[in-house]
Amino acid sequence: MSESPNNGADPRWTKEFTERLRQLELRPGRVIISLDQLHAEFTQVFAHRPGIPDRRVWLLDALRYAEQQGVIRLPTQKGKLWDPSGQPPLPSRVRRVAVPKPAREAWWRTRYWPPELEWLLDLETLDEAHDAFLLRVEQGLKECWFKDAAPLRHRSIQLTGDDKRLGVLLDGVLFKKGRLTPALLNCASDTLPLAHEVVGGPPVALVFENKEPYNLALAVLRALARRPYGVVAFGGGGSFQQSVRAFTDIQASELYRQRVGQPLQRIDYVGDLDWPGLAIAAQAARRAQEAGLPPVVPALGAYHAMLNALLDPRINCPEGLAVQDTKTHRRSHLTWLPEDLQKRIEPMLLNNRRVPEEMLTERSLRDWWATL
């Protein structure tokens, strides 16, 4: 639309409408403006203006002008996103064009940093949300805040004012290789110790997600003359994603050298057959690989025993147990299981069902281990 539209509209009205679309508050992450919203904004500007012979024509002209100004993008005329209920057809929705943020001054590249933070000089960009945190770290280094070890949450309050914020930052760009580390900040480990026992069998470890199956398995193994595992451990739920690294120290211990003597060949894992349980296993397997440890693999005998227990007439729950709280999940975590188990368990999971690890009993453990 030109500065002097030939439909008789005052250009000031059209510019005001365009600016309203530019400033329109949308929900976070949203860029779509519906036709109802467009009508509402148009009415605010044009409702009391005289001489509107055809409201749809004027609205369409105003939208085209807004598109020329780079504020919105109209859908293609050949598409289906047009309302044909009147003439001329109007777009059922438009997309607001994102306004690029002005370039940020790279203040961190002109600052004199202590040696531990000199990697900042190589960064092309830096999230503004990290500015205050980095300046607090700099202050802490200069004033020797990190001389004494402290819990992670204590250090988080010290550096961010929030006891959980540092835990989030640990998984972000500031803690990539060659940058910040928990050791630099002298944070005491927040990883739950890996409870375990070296039982003196072959160089294979068995880890349970939950404490009761672990206690049961340990009691049964102690009574066996021939033990199918050299180490039994309690993963502590999601803690195992971090504590799996403890197997490096376990293998270096004198007790392990005496009772097992050979490097671990693999780590068998048993957890709940649900989305959180599979996520724990998949993440632990990835971190074990990163640490140069043997693979974390499914303890197949345990999982088959858990599934078969659902068919016990005293339980009679072949479809699995109902999930009380549904959570987001990644179907890619299913690939940690072999294909036959994936096919058997996926329908349950998608139907909000699960198989708890506590389906294991002394009899099912003995039957499973008799086959190893």
Tens digits of per-residue pLDDT, 261-274?
999 999 999 999 99
Higher pLDDT, 11 or 294: 294
- Residues 238, 301: one domain? yes
- Residues 275, 137: one domain? no
Confirm whether 6 is domain-assigned.
no
Q: What is the mean pLDDT of residues 196-201?
A: 94
Q: What is the mean pLDDT of residues 280-309?
A: 95
Domain that holds residue 41: 11-96
* pLDDT digit string, tens, across residues 311-369: 999 999 999 999 876 666 778 889 999 999 999 999 999 888 999 999 999 999 999 99
Tokens of 346: 């996926």
**Are 61 and 1 within 8 A, CB to CB?**
yes
- Tokens 């069902």, residue located: 353
- Residues 162, 305: one domain? no
- Residues 255, 332: one domain? yes
Residue where a domain stops, chosen among 188, 222, 243: 188
Confirm whether 213 is domain-assigned.
yes
- Residues 51, 86: one domain? yes
CA dist., res. 307 & res. 328, Å (int): 23
Confirm whether 70 is domain-assigned.
yes
User: Residue 157: left if φ>0, alpha if ψ -120 to 50, beta else—which one?
Assistant: alpha
Query: Does the pLDDT at position 78 exceed 70?
Result: no
Cα 178 off chain centre by: 23
Query: Does the pLDDT at position 101 exceed 70?
Result: no
Q: What is the mean pLDDT of residues 189-203?
A: 90
Give backbone dihedrals phi and psi of 198, rounded to 5 degrees, phi first.
-85, 110
Query: Does the pLDDT at position 136 exceed 70?
Result: yes
